[in-house]
A and B are shown apart, each in its own frame.
Chain A
Amino acid sequence: MSRTLCAVILVLIVLHQDNWYWNDGRLVFGFIPIGLFYHACLSIAAAVVWWWATKYCWPTDSYLAAEEESR
């Protein structure tokens, strides 16, 4: 796993601990509490990170390549 990916995952984990919205009850779009909206956005951010990881940090182990070729 690349160092960049480790760092990005660490950032996601830090962002997950959103102490800044802990006691904030504002509604986003008039119906969704901001704490819930933030974490829903974090789920989308996680998907984007994983898309990036599958594109740029795909494992390069030789045995995986061999298994792909043997198909």
Chain B
Amino acid sequence: MTQLWIILGYLALLLILGLFASRFFRGTSSDYMVASHTIGPFLLLMSIFGTTMTAFALVGSSGEAYEEGIGVYGMLASSSGIIHSLCFFVLGIKLWGFGKRYGYRTQIQFFRERLESSGIGLLLFPILVGLVIPYLLIGVISSGVVIQNMTAGAFPKLFATESPATSGGIPTQWGSLLICLVVLIYVFLGGMRGTAWANAFQTMVFMLLGIVTFGVIANKLGGQASLWENLRVLGEAIPAEKATRTDMSKMKFFSYLLVPLSVGMFPHLFQHWLTAKSAKSFKLPVIAHPVFIMIVWVPCVLIGVWATSELVTIPPALRSRPNAILPFLVNSQAGPVLGGFLTAGILAAIMSSLDSQFLCLGTMFTHDIMGHYFDHEATDRRELALARGFIVIIVVITYLLSLLKPPSVFALGVWTFSGFSALTPLAFAALYWKRLTKWGAYASVLAAAASWGYFFSDAVGKAVQAGNPEPIRTYSLEVTLGGETYEVMSVAAIFLASVIAMVLVSLVTKPPGEETLKKFFS
């Protein structure tokens, strides 16, 4: 019951913050969608970091480390520290400049003008929305699961289930509904400013709670007098295969570098870039992002590998559910109060991504479809009403889809990232290569979609054969070179197909007009 009160208290705080942010709302669509370009360096850093880090940063990182060992940090975290900041520096600053100068609110508005093609929007729109929806679903479903697990036992008669791990907990559909409603309220009222403020607050919450959890768990598991002694005892207990990368493929590790490139085409991140007060506001996010990743990930990875040692007894039922490792350790080692706060931290990480995604989909429907095709002369007031209406519709649809509990949605995570990564070369080329043509862009998007579809259907076929979704999550390609076989992520092939198609077709088709080149390259 303690956990439930802490969760409810945290959500109430978030709503108060949303209401407070709405008092600063200027009543314009620009203010609602891009906070009138007023976000300074600190808020930009916190909101961008909160948006790119999901619950995976806390729960998934410790779970993956439990399964794969310390190598997950290099594969997923230090790579992101290099590549994310690269995208902010190389793409974010330039796109902010064009967005501010020409009034863009969405990526598609930029691509339509840069590529002199209205049709590119029609091609990109369903792909971008289709890639964001599984990402949204993972957040909504996870929030319900987290709340149910952490409130287990609170209502033993009312919500009894067969599993003792969930019995008496708030049912998943209620937990998901609660989270959707809270996010909807503060996004609806506060728009981008409310979202940025909430993200900053939530980022501080999950970073702080991650560190506190690390200290408490280390002290409980080690059983020594000081934290330093406990760390030494736990470090020495890590099994050799988890303290190294003996079982990890070197080529897979290398090809994983392409996955963080996905941030270059996240539509919700694009919208956050546009909120910056000035180009200089990007300096702090670019510099601090890798360090923030380290602060969150290193403690979680250590907890994950400690859980594989003889000092920790993991119940057999949890060994096949690595994402349950961190909540289990918190519940068993830290008690209900820290358990409640950690749940708030996990929900913070989930909601700080959900809010931006809901807002960006609402903005895309308003501008890229309604504004572009049906409602050219919409007043500012009408644009605002449309965006809010679409956000409500998207939240309702996402919630209803989450009730279907698609069994393999969690396995889709890396696939959505691969899809975005394969589209990122288009963003780079649009900003830095004058010779990029609209046909090159079409070819790039179609090649990415076709190769993604081919590999995904292959993975689904293997999952059907195996009778579980695991092959979708772990899918990789085997490449034979000089008699050696290497394991490579499918994103490498999809990315390559997208780049080759873009370059070849651009070179044989008519270059963009003088006016366009002057507009974007002068």
Q: How far is the CA of A40 from the CA of B74 in the complex (A)?
A: 8
Across the interface, name the chain B residue whose C-beta is closest to A55.
Answer: B283
A53 touching B89 in the complex, CB below 8 Å, given contacts A13-B257, A64-B94: yes
A39 touches B74 (CB 8 A): yes
Asked if A62 is at the interface of the complex by the 8 Å CB criterion, the answer is yes
Given A16-B79, A39-B74, A53-B286, do A33 and B280 touch, yes or no (CB 8 Å)?
Answer: no
Are B78 and A25 neighbours in the complex by a CB distance under 8 Å?
Answer: no
A47 touches B288 (CB 8 A): yes
Contact across chains for B82 and A9 when beta carbons are under 8 A apart: yes
Q: Which residues of B contact A47 (CB under 8 A)?
A: 81, 85, 287-291
**What residues of chain A lie closer than 8 Å to B89, measured between beta carbons?**
50, 53-54
Q: Contacts of B20 on A, CB cut-off 8 Å?
A: none
One of A19, A23, A53, A61 near B246 (C-beta < 8 A): A23
User: Cα distance A23–B282 when bound, in Å?
Assistant: 38
Contacts of A23 in B (CB 8 A): 244-246
B427 to chain A, nearest CB (A): 14
Q: Is the interface of A mostly helix, strand, loop or mixed?
A: helix
Verify A24–B235 contact, CB threshold 8 A.
Answer: no
Complex partner residue of A27 from B235, B245, B287, B288, CB under 8 angstroms: B235
Write the A48-68 contact mask toward B (1 if CB under 8 angstroms, else 0). Answer: 001101100001011110111
Of all chain B residues, the one with the shortest Cβ separation from A36 is: B70
Binds A, one of B158-166, B206-214, B294-302: B294-302
Collect the chain B residues with CB atoms within 8 Å of residue A61's CB: 94, 97
Q: Which residues of B contact A13 (CB under 8 A)?
A: 82, 257
In the complex, chain B residues 199-251 whose Cβ is within 8 Å of any chain A Cβ: 231-232, 234-236, 238, 240, 243-246, 248, 250
- Whole-angstrom CA separation of A32 from B289 in the bound complex: 22
User: How many angstroms between the C-alpha atoms of A26 and B308 in the bound complex?
Assistant: 17
B93 on interface, CB distance cutoff 8 Å: yes
Does B479 make an interface contact (CB < 8 A)?
Answer: no
Provide the bound-state CA to CA distance between A12 and B238, in Å: 28
Interface membership of chain A positions 1-40, coded 1 if the CB is closer than 8 angstroms to chain B and 0 otherwise: 1000000010011001111001111010011110110011
From the candidates B244, B277, B278, name the one contacting A33 in the complex (CB within 8 A): B244
Cβ distance A60 to chain B, nearest Cβ, rounded Å: 11
Q: Is the CB of B280 within 8 A of A43?
A: no
The A/B interface has a contact count, at CB < 8 Å, of 134
Question: Is B73 located at the chain interface by the 8 A CB criterion?
Answer: yes
| In the bound complex, CA of A33 to CA of B301 (Å) | 11
**Any A CB within 8 A of the CB of B112:** no
Least CB distance from B464 to A in Å reads 35
The answer to whether A39 touches B235, judged by C-beta atoms less than 8 angstroms apart, is no
B77 part of interface (Cβ distance < 8 Å)? yes
Contact B71 A43 (CB under 8 A): no
Give Cα A35 to B475, complex, Å: 25
Residue of chain B at shortest CB distance from A1: B90
Which of B97, B238, B257 interacts with A16 by CB under 8 Å? B257
* Chain B residues, CB < 8 A from A46: 78, 81-82, 85, 290
B17 neighbours in A (Cβ, 8 Å): none
Size bracket of the B interface: 35 or more
Whether A68 contacts B278 by the Cβ 8 Å rule is: yes
Shortest C-beta distance, A35 to chain B (Å), equals: 5
- Cβ–Cβ contact A33 & B243, under 8 A: yes
B81 touches A54 (CB 8 A): no
Complex contacts, A1 vs chain B, CB 8 Å: 90, 432
Question: Using a CB-CB cutoff of 8 Å, which residues 476-519 of chain B contact chain A?
Answer: none
User: In the complex, what residues of A have CB within 8 A of residue B90's CB?
Assistant: 1
Asked if A16 contacts B244 (CB within 8 A), the reply is: no
Contact with A along B264-278 (1 / 0, CB 8 A): 000000000000011
Asked if B178 lies at the interface with its beta carbon under 8 angstroms from chain A, I say no
Interface contact B245-A35, CB-CB below 8 Å:
yes
> Is B280 a contact partner of A68 (Cβ separation < 8 A)?
yes
Contact between chains at A64 and B93 (CB < 8 Å): yes
Alpha-carbon separation in the docked complex, A19 to B282 (Å): 33
The answer on a CB contact under 8 Å between B236 and A40 is: no
Q: Mark B89-101, 1 if CB is under 8 A from A, else 0.
A: 1100110011011
Closest to A35 in B: B70
Q: Which residues of A contact B101 (CB under 8 A)?
A: 63, 66-67
B277 to chain A: which residues have CB within 8 Å?
Answer: 71
Chain A residues lying within 8 Å of B231, measured Cβ to Cβ, are 30-31
B522 at interface by CB-CB < 8 Å: yes
Do B238 and A33 touch (CB < 8 A)?
yes
User: Can you list 6 A-B pairs, Cβ within 8 angstroms, ordered by A?
Assistant: A16-B82, A27-B235, A30-B232, A32-B235, A43-B290, A46-B85
- For the complex with contacts A31-B235, A64-B93, 11 further pairs of A-B residues with Cβ separation under 8 Å are A1-B432, A30-B231, A30-B236, A43-B294, A44-B291, A44-B294, A47-B291, A50-B287, A54-B286, A59-B279, A61-B97
A-B pairs, top 3 by smallest CB distance, nearest first, are: A31-B235, A31-B231, A43-B294
Residues of B within 8 A of A (CB): 70-71, 73-74, 77-79, 81-82, 85-86, 89-90, 93-94, 97-98, 100-101, 231-232, 234-236, 238, 240, 243-246, 248, 250, 253-254, 257, 277-280, 282-283, 286-291, 293-294, 298, 301-302, 305, 432, 522
Residues of A within 8 A of B (CB): 1, 9, 12-13, 16-19, 22-25, 27, 30-33, 35-36, 39-40, 42-44, 46-47, 50-51, 53-54, 59, 61-64, 66-68, 71
